[in-house]
Chains A and B, each alone.
Chain A
Amino acid sequence: MIRTILKLSVCVIITSILASCGSDRSSESNVLPLQGTQFNPLSGNLSITDGIISGTGKMVANLPLDSVQSAHHFEIAFRIPNGGALKLLTHATDTLESGNAIRFVRQRNIVIIEVDSLPVGQFETSAETDTLRATIDVHNDESEGAHILVWAGGASTAGTENPLCEPHRQNGLLGAGSYWGLELDQATVSLAKFGDAIDQD
């Protein structure tokens, strides 16, 4: 009897160890909810207060995009101090690698938009305390490489105005996964969600 209990105990311990070694993914208890979108922190130090996520770190949205080959819009509202940045990562792996990266970086009163570390556009002059809202279309289904369109403002008005920029990633590069998320560098984010692409062409 004692031997049986010992054997069972060993089995349970080994199973627990193996299960814990199987994944370094976040548990559901660490989820950061942001207006209906659930994010799982991957690295850094992110906190949530009154529905606003702030800090420095990387987080992946729990619900993936439709497909690797898909086109979506992402609507985000954020604040970044001078020298801070926010990076939107789309069509990436579940650890946000090998995706499309659109980075917003503040240099005093200007917020520069970068794709693959190259400046492609900028926001109108804004103060550090302003909350910026942007709508970003990412078409990861085009043969010329991912097509990215960035509008100032929300998704409801994005289709009616010219985008701030609309680059293709160079050398035909496309994101390799179906997950998306954000990388914050001293930033605060109050909204981040996705939907069907605004630009249908």
Chain B
Amino acid sequence: MIRTNAAILLGSLALSGLLFAENVNSNDTGLQLSIAADLLGEVSTIENGGGINRLDAREAEIGVMAPIDPYLDGYLSMAAHREDDEYVFEPHEIYLSSSKFIPRSRIRAGLFFLGIGRLNQFHRHDWAFTSAPKVQREFFGVEAASDAGIEYSWLTPLPFYLELRLGVTSGWAYGHAHGIGTQPNFPTHYLRATYYNDLFSNGGIQTGLNYLGRRNSSGQWMTLLGIDLTAKWRQDRVLTFLLQSEFWRRQLIQDGTPTETTIGYYLFPQYGINPSMEFGIRFDGYAITSQQDALGNAIANFDYAIVPTLSYHTSEFATLRLSYHHSSDTTSSIEIGRQRFIQLQAVFILGAHPAHDF
């Protein structure tokens, strides 16, 4: 089965290359093809340290984008990744988008990563670190929360940059799912306001305020409130300093049960040593603030992680990344889990790659 899937994947990649090579070269249709590969090796430094203890092809992704007609653009992204010890090749994003129907507006419809938060809007091969912080894993998924629906963004006509976004998606599945999920009592919906302003010394900061809500088929309301900050300083076109952070609060509300409130955050300062090399340290925190034992006594709990990360770019198309993951989960002053492992990641991109916001 693994061989069959691998053969299909390799065949698809080869076929895609053959089919699209001419178009990419001639560029007469505007078709752009990109392939991103993500290799990851992990070694635990303690017994049961949480690393996979092998080198693995974590993900391979094919992205195709092109204008469809004068009004619409199309984007397709297919990714192969491991699931149940087998490679699964599946659509990540398939959507139509347009910024030409309504002035100052962008609409996209289809299957996409929800346009909320910072990490959730990027494929993980584009992240500044290798693995998701706990708050991202628990609130969105190991990479991102994605769903099928429609999203509308409007750039306000104000003297400063402020974009407002509204999204509504089916909500059948959210986060971890092995299939299509189940019909929710209320679909997934989200709002985001993005603000940008310049900072001193050629710097800039983007701030996002976010809300997401959904009521699942069991009647449980989930609400997420979050703020994300991304500040960058550049010299010429070289990133000299990056500060990226997200802070989220989740509430799970269901009739007849106490509301569960959880907060989580990460903070990632990164210094550009030279144009090819960067060093950063990520600090993660995560706590369920409402947790009580069966007798009604509050339970203090806090999970943290410290992840120093060294990135080396051989070019803008390839990155080697070395990081060390040190984390600890504590409940009632007792450490109930610890992870210690080294990660070595190689990411390379073949062909075109879509530009990202800030």
Q: Which residues of A contact B (CB under 8 A)?
A: 23, 25-28, 40, 60-64, 66-69, 93-94, 97-98, 139, 141-145, 147, 171-174, 176-179, 196, 201
Contact = CB atoms under 8 A, between A and B. Distances in A.
Given A93-B257, A98-B257, A25 B182 contact: no
A64 B292 contact: yes
Given A68-B252, A143-B174, A172 B182 contact: yes
Contacts of B256: 93, 97-98, 176
B260 interface: yes
Contacts of B292: 64, 94
Contacts of A178: 260, 291
Interface in B248-265: 252, 254, 256-258, 260, 262
B294 A144 contact: no
Interface string B79-112: 0000110000000000000000000000000000
A68 B257 CA distance: 10
B329 to A, nearest CB: 8
Contacts of B257: 68, 93, 98, 176-177
Contacts of A142: 176-178
B173 interface: yes
A64 B299 contact: yes
Contacts of A93: 256-257
Contact of A144 (B179, B291, B331): B179
A144 B178 contact: yes
A66 B176 CA distance: 17
The 6 closest A-B pairs by CB, nearest first: A172-B182, A143-B181, A172-B217, A143-B173, A143-B177, A174-B218
6 contacts: A63-B332, A67-B288, A68-B252, A143-B176, A144-B177, A172-B183
A155 B242 CA distance: 43
A28 B138 contact: no
A172 B218 contact: yes
B295 interface: yes
Contacts of A28: 295
A94 B294 contact: yes
A77 B174 CA distance: 35
Given A60-B294, A67-B262, A141 B176 contact: yes
B252 A201 contact: no
Contact of A171 (B83, B176, B179, B217): B217
B302 to A, nearest CB: 12
Contacts of B260: 67-68, 178
A37 B178 CA distance: 32
B223 interface: no
Contacts of B294: 25, 40, 60-64, 94, 179
A47 to B, nearest CB: 19
B293 A63 contact: yes
Chain A CB within 10 Å — which of B83, B84, B217, B293 has the most?
Answer: B293
A177 B254 CA distance: 9
B296 to A, nearest CB: 6
B175 A141 contact: yes
Contacts of B299: 63-64
Contacts of A173: 217-218
Nearest to A28: B295
Nearest to A144: B179
B337 interface: yes
Given A93-B257, A139-B176, A171 B293 contact: no
Given A66-B288, A143-B176, A40 B182 contact: no
Interface string B294-333: 1110010000000000000000000000000000000110
Contacts of B179: 143-144
Given A69-B138, A69-B175, 11 more contacts: A26-B295, A40-B295, A66-B288, A67-B138, A68-B260, A98-B257, A141-B176, A144-B173, A147-B178, A171-B182, A172-B217
A171 B176 CA distance: 16
B220 interface: yes
Contacts of A177: 257-258
B182 A69 contact: no
B245 interface: no
B190 interface: no
A97 B255 CA distance: 12
A143 B296 contact: no
A60 to B, nearest CB: 5
B268 interface: no
B147 to A, nearest CB: 10
Contact of A64 (B83, B84, B182, B291): B291
B172 interface: yes
Contacts of A144: 173, 177-182
B216 interface: yes
A115 to B, nearest CB: 15
A174 B176 contact: no
Contacts of B182: 143-145, 171-172
Interface in B222-280: 252, 254, 256-258, 260, 262
